[in-house]
Structure 1
Amino acid sequence: MDYEIVRSEAATEDDMRAIVVPLIAHNEQSAPPLNSENLALLIRDAEGKTIGGLWGRFGYDWLFVDYLAVPMELRGTGIGTKLLQQAEQLAIERHCVGLWLDTFSFQARPFYERLGYQVFGELEDYPRGHSRYFLQKRFR
């Protein structure tokens, strides 16, 4: 079989699918389907404009939080805690094992640890001089 490795800065959706489809097929031979579903908990202002919130996705009996953003003027009011607690409750109702997320050393690691999250991984120098932390909170 002849092949070549080609670097592309203009890869298409079809190129991505050519990589992902066989990977998913391989994974499904060993694990159940991912059955990914998004979760959005939105903070809206008085005009109904979304100004922050939590974005995550369910998969493999876990909830992963992609983003948690609280506007500067609302930090320290408890709204971040309420967002996470609501996400945790939804994950528990779906019988999830737990919730996981990541944060940087210059972001909110102490906040998550106060809420019972534990570090299970660290990527040093990402970005240089900082670390990226991976945290989890198991429900069972």
Structure 2
Amino acid sequence: MKNYIIEESTKEECKVVNNGIIEYNASKVPFTQEPSFLQINRVIKDPNGDIRAGINSLLYCWKCLHIGALWVKEEYRQKGYGSVLLNEVEKIAKEKGCNLIQVDTFDFQAKDFYLKHGYEVFGVLDECPPKHKYYFLKKNI
């Protein structure tokens, strides 16, 4: 391997890389949903419009849901907001034909919350960050 330059990618170059892997994946296992990527994001607001909690997730390619972020403002934690949001996106995903959900979380975040909702750990990274664990969970619906 000779004669190359390595440099930081631009936003457009990142899109080229992402589109390249998407095309490759589709060539190996045809996508089973349209559109191939569907964001399912929800927020809970107070009467003034301030966000109390939110969830960002992506239904991708083969009717699999990836939960990217679930957040509840500190003063509203332990009051059911996270469960309401999780149940909402699970319901929507199921209506769209989803049968597998995946999420990742650190030991100081929400592992027990997901376990309580029927998720199971399928992988763990130790010492990520140091003195902590990074969990990968799934749920068949």
TM class, shorter-chain normalised?
A: 0.7 to 0.9
2:53 counterpart residue number: 52
CA distance in 1, matches of 2:100, 2:20: 28
1:14 counterpart residue number: 12
CA distance in 1, matches of 2:89, 2:125: 25
Extract unaligned runs of 5+ from structure 1.
none
- Root-mean-square deviation over aligned CA pairs: 1.8
CA distance in 2, matches of 1:67, 1:75: 15
1:25 counterpart residue number: 23
1:110 counterpart residue number: 112
CA distance in 1, matches of 2:41, 2:19: 26
2:52–2:76 contact (8 Å) kept in structure 1 = no
Alignment match of 1:136 (pick from 111, 135, 138): 138
CA distance in 1, matches of 2:124, 2:137: 9
2:4 counterpart residue number: 4
Q: Secondary structure at the match of 2:131?
A: coil
1:39–1:58 contact (8 Å) kept in structure 2 = yes
2:121 counterpart residue number: 119
**1:20 Cα deviation after fit:** 2.7
1:36 counterpart residue number: 37
- Offset from partner CA, 1:12-42 (integer Å, 9 cap, x none): 1232234233322221111123701111110
CA distance in 2, matches of 1:110, 1:101: 13
CA distance in 2, matches of 1:86, 1:52: 13
* Structure 1 stretches of at least 4 aligned residues deviating more than 4 Å after TM superposition: none
How many pairs align?
137
- Shift of the 19–130 alpha-carbon distance from structure 1 to 2, 3 Å rule, reads same
CA distance in 2, matches of 1:3, 1:21: 25
**1:70 Cα deviation after fit:** 0.7
CA distance in 2, matches of 1:15, 1:95: 33
Q: Secondary structure at the match of 2:56?
A: strand
**1:2 Cα deviation after fit:** 5.2
